[in-house]
Structures are given as structure tokens and as C-alpha cells.
Amino acid sequence: MKKLHIPQFWYSTDANNKSPLLSIILWPLSALYQMGDKLNRLKTNQKPSPLPVICVGNITMGGGGKTPTARALLKMIQDHGKFATPCFLMRGYGGNNKGPIEVDLTTHTSWDVGDEALMQAHYAPTIIASDRYDGAVLAEKLGYDLIIMDDGFQNYRLEKTLSFIVIDGGFGFGNGKTFPSGPLREPIKPALKRANACIVINKTDDINLSILNKKRHYHASINLLNNGQKTKGKKVIAMAGIARPEKFFDTLEQNGYELYAHYGFSDHHVYTHGELQAIVERAERHNISVITTEKDWIRLSEKWREKISYLKISIEFDDKFKIYFNKCLDHIK
């Protein structure tokens, strides 16, 4: 499985508003990447879904907050009451089962279905399918009445009812260039045209998102819930194998945690026994706890889950989005 490391030059341009040299050198590859995406879109036979589909995606590589946003939408759908049996539909990235199959928490592991699908299955029925249309067909067959498509904005196989782009307010669109010159999966403007709205999570003043001024967009914030296990205090060793580990470390510090040490790994990192042993032993020597993300924790064996806590988060939408989304649900047939 390919690991994602975010290069520093993806973050921004330099003081003269010029792209770093490496970004310029990689531009021909970015052009080929864009061409491949266009060809994929043209040759893909899009099929209408048998069920309403609400897609939660992003434009940038790596995490922007899609998975907790999908869970927050699930809660709103359940509170609304129109749809009785919503389910998640995912690719199952990192898993070896291509589906379509419903995640079974009693038998499946992250090796089977991927860490994110295994995590979402704790909140609602979750189906994985490399072919999203086949996954939608299975969802209908199993009796579900609405699909929350966690990721898949760039998947053109299944027609969507609503599409939301999630944006990390601390990262924005990086340097605004497509992969590998930058972090974008596709150019910003055509992506915005396909989306119904954007959701900006934890907007910071130094990130320029003026391109959204003409696009319907809303704001949301990250709330901390109870940890997976009690920590010994606010002084911790943090570890994270996500697209932007520093985002997790910042969240901890912003909520009163003191980081004695922190370890950042690539997205979906598979921890070795030696790595975990070294981190836990260091924490035990200083009588402090080890804390990680929920997505990282779900990949650990029972032995390590007993020794490592996780930070559980939720997404809180602004009131304007709540009103807008409930109206959208009212009009879905």
C-alpha cells in the first residue's frame, strides 16, 4: 500500500508568490495527471443510484476531515427522521477485500476492509466496494434507504444526489496546484462546479480561501469527545499515521495537552512491534500516556489498544449549514 508523505512545497508559495522550483519541475507530470483524470471521467459509464447518495469528499490529497464529517451528517440525518436506515459506502482503502461487502465487526479487521471503513462501521452499517455502483446495489438489497458516500468525489461511476467538499481550514488548497506539483486531486474551479457546497473545518486567518466567495460554503469546528481510554493526565506522547500528523498534534495542544514527544508517520501507516514498543516504553518510564487518533487506534492489536488511548472527535456545523442541510433532506425523494 502506497504511503502518503506531504511535501513541504505543497503548503504554499514563497514570499514572491512564485512556486518553489521542485513544484515547477513537476508541472509536466501534473498536466499528465489532469489528463488522466479527464480521460477517466469521459470513459466512465456513470450509473444512477438505486438510493439517494450524499457524497462527502475533498479536492486535496490526504485527510481533510471527510470521515468525521460523514459521521456528523449521519447524526443530522438520523435526527431529521426522513430516512430510517442510512449507511456508509466506502472504497475500503488499505483493505484487501474489494467488495461489495458489508463490514462485519465480529470478523473483519483493518487488513480486510481498511481502517476507515472498520472505524465507520462502529457508527452505522458500512459497505465497501471498489465499484461504488455495485456497493449501492448491495445497500438497497440489504434494506438501507440512503447512502453516505465517505470519499468518492472523484469517483464518477455512481451518480450523487448531493456532493459536499470538505476543506481543512488550516491547509486550504495548499499551493493550489495539482498532484504532484501540489496537493490537489483536480483543479479547484471545475471541482467547485460539481459540488453543492463546501464545508470549511477550523478556518484560520492565514489561509486564503477567497476562491470560495462565489461558492456556497459553511464553517464547522472540531469538538473533542471522551478519549477511548483515560489518560494519566494532560502530558502525553502523541503518535499519528495520517496525512497531516501535525494537525492532530495541534488539536491536542489547542485543547490543553502538553506534548512530551510526538511521532508522525505516513497516512495509513502499519505500526511495527518495535515502533510501538519504543513509544510505550518511553511513556512508561515517565509515567505518562500515549495517545493517537481513532483511525490509528483501530489498526492496533488488542495488546496495544490496552496501552494506548485515542482522541475521539466530532464535527460541529454552523447553524446556517444545519438549516441548509435539513432543507436538502426535505427535498430528497
Q: What is the DSSP string of 13-54?
A: --TTS---HHHHHTHHHHHHHHHHHHHHHHH---B--SS-EE
CA 16-199-330 angle, 5° bins: 155
Can you give the pLDDT at residue 19?
66
User: Per-residue pLDDT tens for 35-52?
Assistant: 988 888 888 888 999 999
Handedness of CA 30, 153, 73, 238 (dihedral sign): negative
Answer for the pair 290, 106: CB distance below 8 angstroms, yes or no: no
**For residues 239 and 40, which has the higher predicted lDDT (pLDDT)?**
239
Residue 16: pLDDT band by 50, 70, 90 thresholds?
very low
- Return d(Cα 239, Cα 237) in angstroms, integer: 7
Cell 455502483 -> residue: 133
**17-26, 31-40, 179-188: lowest mean pLDDT where?**
17-26
pLDDT band at 208 (very low <50, low <70, confident <90, very high): confident
Which tens digit of pLDDT belongs to each residue from 66-110? Answer: 999 999 999 999 999 999 999 999 999 889 999 899 999 999 999
Residues 166-182 have a mean pLDDT of: 90
3 pLDDT higher than 60:
no
In the β-sheet with 313-317, what is the strand arrangement from edge to edge? 101-102, 126-128, 86-90, 146-150, 53-57, 162-168, 197-201, 217-224, 313-317
Q: How far from each other are the two terminal CA atoms of the chain, in whole angstroms?
A: 39
pLDDT in tens, 248-298: 998 899 888 999 999 999 888 999 999 999 999 999 999 999 999 999 999
pLDDT of residue 5: 56
What mean pLDDT, rounded, does the chain reach?
90
The DSSP string of 190-217 is: HHHHH-SEEEEES--TTS--GGGGGS-E
pLDDT tier, 317 (very low <50, low <70, confident <90, very high otherwise): very high
Q: Alpha-carbon distance 113 to 96, whole Å?
A: 6
User: Count H helices, E strands: the chain?
Assistant: 12, 13
Reply yes or no on whether the pLDDT at 229 is more than 70.
Answer: no
